[in-house]
Amino acid sequence: MTDVGTAQATARPPARARTNAGRPALVAAALAGLLIINLAIYAVGRALGGAFTYPQNGTTTQVDWVSITFMSLVPLGFGLTLVAVLSRKWPKVIPIARVVAPVLAVATIAVMTIPAGFDTTSTVALSAMHLTIIPAALLALRGLPHRRRGSTRHTPPN
């Protein structure tokens, strides 16, 4: 005879069904987290005396919170959208994006931020903002659907 209480206590919990419902939320959370962290870095940089200005065409241009928002969300959003679309036909684009996203984040520091002529505080803060895209991108890429090895779609017979 089996004790019902013991059987219930040792039984495994039912397996949760895997759905795609959490994936858009994960991507949205990565974008929101990126923006919050970058705006916080901007605020700290300003508090430490960073002017966030650079010379352009004989005038001085300032990087403000709107620019930070735009330059934080658009590249990551565009990249994730591109990977999401391509991964439907070419799932191997996701692991490639896991390498390309960090490389681009670091490369844009050398190509955009350093040559722009910001003061040191602004350069450090903006460089840190470029680096925050790395964990945000990697987290969001984990949320994109991907096919498992050996899995195929099966359509049941009529």
Whether the model pTM is above 0.95: no
Residue 17 confidence (pLDDT) above 90: no
- Assigned domain for 98 exists: yes
> Cβ–Cβ contacts within 10 Å for residue 143, how many?
19
Nearest CA-CA partner of 28 in 139, 130, 134:
139
- Assigned domain for 11 exists: no
Looking at the structure of the chain, the number of domains it has is 1
- Assigned domain for 12 exists: no
Q: Where are any strands of DSSP class E within 2-114?
A: 53-56, 59-62
- Assigned domain for 89 exists: yes
The model's pLDDT over 42-65, given as tens digits with 9 standing for 90+, comes to 999 999 999 999 999 999 999 999
- Assigned domain for 128 exists: yes
Is the distance from CB of 108 to CB of 130 less than 8 angstroms?
yes
Q: Which residue segment(s) compose the domain that 89 sits in? A: 22-142
- Assigned domain for 4 exists: no
